[in-house]
Amino acid sequence: MYEFIALHAADLLSFVLSTAALLAYQLYLNRRTRLDPASNSQYVLLAARAAWVESVMRERRDILAVQTLRNSTMSASFMASTSVLLIIGVLTLSAQGDKLSGTWHSLNFLGNFSAEMWLTKLLILLFDLLTAFFSFSMAVRLFHHIGYLLNVPLGSPLESPSDTRRMHHVTGQLNRAGTYYRVGMRAYYFTVPLLFWLFGPLFLLGMTALLIFFLYHLDRAPRHDEDLMG
């Protein structure tokens, strides 16, 4: 074990630094959101989902609800199916490691090559894709349940909770589905640095920096972008 760590110290250190950088960015994002919730694009989506649920349930806009949930379910289902295809691709790479690993490491200027490290990288990539698959699957499950919750009329004598509590419950379930979808997308984004890690640790660090730069602009609310432009 110690020999493996010493031999592949550059690869392992680059992975630790990459993961730590992403965690540090998430902590920064959480802190910024607590200080100024409107600075986060997710805050805008949370407010929009709450307004959408109230509009659909109070005005009985059933067609709008069906179409919106159908689009969300189809999107999450497509991403989950794509995750399965990518998982199969990673398993295929692991089966052909002896033939491909040497070629993929031709640009590796820092790390050491070995079949064990190649399989370790593929295992981490496989775990990341499995996280994406289960996240999108949970999003599909919640979107399915929300369809039934939205179609129960307000003020029905069969419902014991108040209408306000019911709307809050539906909004909470919809936001949970959105969170699962967001986690799945973040896992997808992280596959890019992990794929470049197969070429070497320097590629992993470089792509992680680009990913954080991309996420920083993705997570900013449009209002703040307009303020900067003005």
Pick 146 or 161 by higher pLDDT. 146
Query: Of 190, 93, 213, which is closest to residue 132 (Cα–Cα)?
Result: 190
Q: Which domain holds residue 192?
A: 41-220
In a domain, 2, yes or no: no
Arithmetic mean of pLDDT, 173-192: 93
Residue 31 lies in a domain: no
Q: What is the DSSP letter of 109?
A: S
Mean pLDDT of 180-185: 94
Q: Which of 154, 177, 13 is nearest to 80 (CA)?
A: 177
pLDDT, tens digit (0-9, with 9 covering 90-100), for 191-209: 999 998 888 888 899 999 9
CB-CB contact of 151 with 207 (8 Å): no
pLDDT for res 229: 38
Produce one character per residue of 167-183: b if its CB has 16 or more CB atoms within 10 Å, e if not.
beebbebbbebbbbbeb
Has residue 215 been placed in a domain? yes
| Cα end-to-end span (Å), the chain | 56
Average pLDDT, the chain: 82
pLDDT at 230 over 50: no
Q: Does residue 8 sit within a domain?
A: no
Within a domain: residue 13? no
pLDDT at 1: 60
4 found inside a domain = no
Q: What is the pTM of this model?
A: 0.83
Task: Please count the structural domains in the chain.
Answer: 1
Cα separation, 12 vs 90, whole angstroms: 20
180 located within any domain: yes
Q: 């497509």: which residue's tokens? A: 78
